Amino acid sequence: MSCTCGRSPTGKCVGWHKLSEAEYAEKKAEWEAKQSQKADLNQ
């Protein structure tokens, strides 16, 4: 299902539209850190 709220990092709904601004910032930082770790492993 696509996301129209603009918060999903993948373009698919992950439920982040329900989060407060602080919760969203935390989830986004966690997701970015995880993606960075994946990129490091693939190098």
**pLDDT tens for each residue of 2-38:** 989 999 999 999 999 999 999 999 999 999 999 999 8
Distances in Å between the alpha carbon of 43 and those of 3, 7, 37?
30, 28, 10
User: pTM score, two decimals?
Assistant: 0.80
Position 43 confidence tier, pLDDT thresholds 50, 70, 90: confident
Phi, psi of 12 (to 5 degrees): -105, 145
